[in-house]
């Protein structure tokens, strides 16, 4: 199979409005073809430790990881972040929201890193990206050196399905949450995409009794750092404890006032803690 690397670089000046922006980014985006999928990504820094950032649902490089791309020490880390398949500028094609999309993302992510010639790396996985990160760490133990996850779970409970349904109408989202995604996907595109996401996770709940990747936890061999915001409205408080109890080499930290986006709201502390963990 011939894989074409497309060096379509441009200076990106996008930021999610829920965290302060001190300056515009000068990190250039690039594109690479992985099978039939175009992947949009950035690579920043020249450090010996490679860190691969996995965004959450509908998320992208800049909406989800700007403070990490710009804030982590580039002499210590090489930071890679992508728009997951079918999100952001990793289109076309649009995302296929089948019930295996977490596993599909994990496989595509591993193939993507192979295309970049990177054999060893650590993962920063937020929310949906954390779920795919769990799967990656379990399936590719020789590649994943360390795993950091937050806002993530290995199963879904009924109350969370109800929360997703309450959030289905994107016109009722806060403007801070909605505006950057509307700018990226359009109002109709955002609604269509989130409807499909809600349908997919509801189908997973109904078909698998809520299980997403619980069987993967015991297979994770790498050191794992589980973070959680105790006021996270999207993820039930039982999940970080379950992950901690079922991943062998795990540690955890909880932000008492944190919500779903602790890496954005508390980016300085988050970056410091993650740096200490990754360099240990």
CATH for 31:
3.40.50.1820
Q: Would residue 63 show up in a list of annotated catalytic residues for this protein?
A: no
Q: Between residues 22 and 76, which one has the greater pLDDT?
A: 76
248 lies in a domain? yes
Percent share of the chain, pLDDT over 90: 87
Query: In the prediction, which pLDDT does 198 show?
Result: 97
Predicted pLDDT at 16: 37
Reported confidence tier of residue 26, pLDDT bands at 50, 70, 90: confident
**189 within a domain of the structure (yes/no):** no
pLDDT digits (tens, 9 = 90+) for 194-208: 999 999 999 999 998
Tabulate helix, strand, coil % of the chain (nearest 5). Answer: 40, 20, 40
For residue 51, tell me if it sits in a domain: yes
Beta strands in 35-102 (DSSP E): 37-44, 49-54, 77-83
Mean pLDDT of all residues in 244-249: 98
From 232, 239, 263, 267, active-site residue: 232
Which of these is catalytic: 127, 132, 138, 153? 127
Q: Select the more confidently predicted residue: 176 or 190.
A: 190
Average pLDDT of the chain?
Answer: 91
**Residue in 89, 239, 260, 263 annotated catalytic:** 260
Task: Give the residue with greater pLDDT, 66 vs 1.
Answer: 66
Would residue 183 count as lying in a domain? no
Residue 243 lies in a domain: yes
Active site residue 89: no
- Per-residue pLDDT tens for 90-107? 999 989 999 999 999 999
Residues spanned by the domain of 123: 5-157+196-279
- What is the total residue count of the chain? 280
Residue 10 lies in a domain: yes
266 pLDDT higher than 60:
yes
pLDDT at 218 exceeding the cut of 80:
yes
For residue 242, tell me if it sits in a domain. yes
The span from the CA of 106 to the CA of 137, in Å, is 9
Asked if the structure places residue 180 within a domain, the reply is no
Q: Would you call 228 a catalytic residue per the annotation?
A: no
Q: Please say whether the beta carbons of 128 and 204 come within 8 A.
A: no
Residue 23's pLDDT is what?
A: 42
Split into its structural domains, the chain has a count of: 1
């Amino acid at each position: 199979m011939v894989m074409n690397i497309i060096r379509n670089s441009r200076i990106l000046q996008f930021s999610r409005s829920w965290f302060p922006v001190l300056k515009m980014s000068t990190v250039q985006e690039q594109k690479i073809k992985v099978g039939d999928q175009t992947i949009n990504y950035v690579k920043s820094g020249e450090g010996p430790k490679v860190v691969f950032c996995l965004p959450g649902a509908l998320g992208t490089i800049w909406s989800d990881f700007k403070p990490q791309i710009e804030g982590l020490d580039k002499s210590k880390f090489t930071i890679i972040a992508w728009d997951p398949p079918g999100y952001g500028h990793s289109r076309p094609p649009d995302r296929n929201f089948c019930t295996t999309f977490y596993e599909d993302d994990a496989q595509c992510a591993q193939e993507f890193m192979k295309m970049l010639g990177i054999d060893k790396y650590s993962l920063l996985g937020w929310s949906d990206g954390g779920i795919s990160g769990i799967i990656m760490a379990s399936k590719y133990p020789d590649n994943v050196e360390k795993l950091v996850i937050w806002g993530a779970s290995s199963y879904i409970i009924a109350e969370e399905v109800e929360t997703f349904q309450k959030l289905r109408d994107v016109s009722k989202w806060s403007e801070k949450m909605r505006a950057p995604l509307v700018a990226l996907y359009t109002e109709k595109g955002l609604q269509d995409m989130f409807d499909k996401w809600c349908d997919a996770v509801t189908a997973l709940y109904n078909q698998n009794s809520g299980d997403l990747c619980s069987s993967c936890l015991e297979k994770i061999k790498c050191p794992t750092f589980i973070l959680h915001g105790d006021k996270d409205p999207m993820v039930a408080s039982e999940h970080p404890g379950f992950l901690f109890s079922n991943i062998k080499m795990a540690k955890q930290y909880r932000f008492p006032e944190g919500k779903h986006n602790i890496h954005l709201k508390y980016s300085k502390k988050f970056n410091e803690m993650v740096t200490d963990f990754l360099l240990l």
